[in-house]
A = this chain, B = another copy of it.
């Protein structure tokens, strides 16, 4: 049956390199305990600044994963 149900959770990942990497970090952390992850939707991007320099890219994302399959 194709009428699956998905659940969506919201996370913030961080990286010193890029927002792409920050999003991957959010997925990796969530992935430890969740299976069937499908997509990460970007909700908000920001950059933490220390001593006048941008040091930490952060991505707030919504992750959806299957909770009912067949």
Residues of B within 8 Å of A30, CB to CB, are 5
Contact check: which of B29, B42, B67, B68 meets A5 at CB < 8 Å?
A: B29
Residues of B within 8 Å of A22, CB to CB, are 3
Copies of chain A in the complex: 12
Shortest Cβ distance from residue A40 to the other chain B in the assembled complex, whole angstroms: 4
Residue of B nearest to A42 (CB): B45
Tell me whether A46 and B42 are in contact in the complex, defined as CB-CB below 8 angstroms, given that A2-B56, A27-B54 are known contacts.
yes
The CA-CA distance from A8 to B49 in the complex, in Å, is: 14
> A residues touching B (Cβ–Cβ < 8 Å)?
2-16, 18-20, 22-31, 35, 37-42, 44-49, 52-54, 56-57, 60-64, 67-68
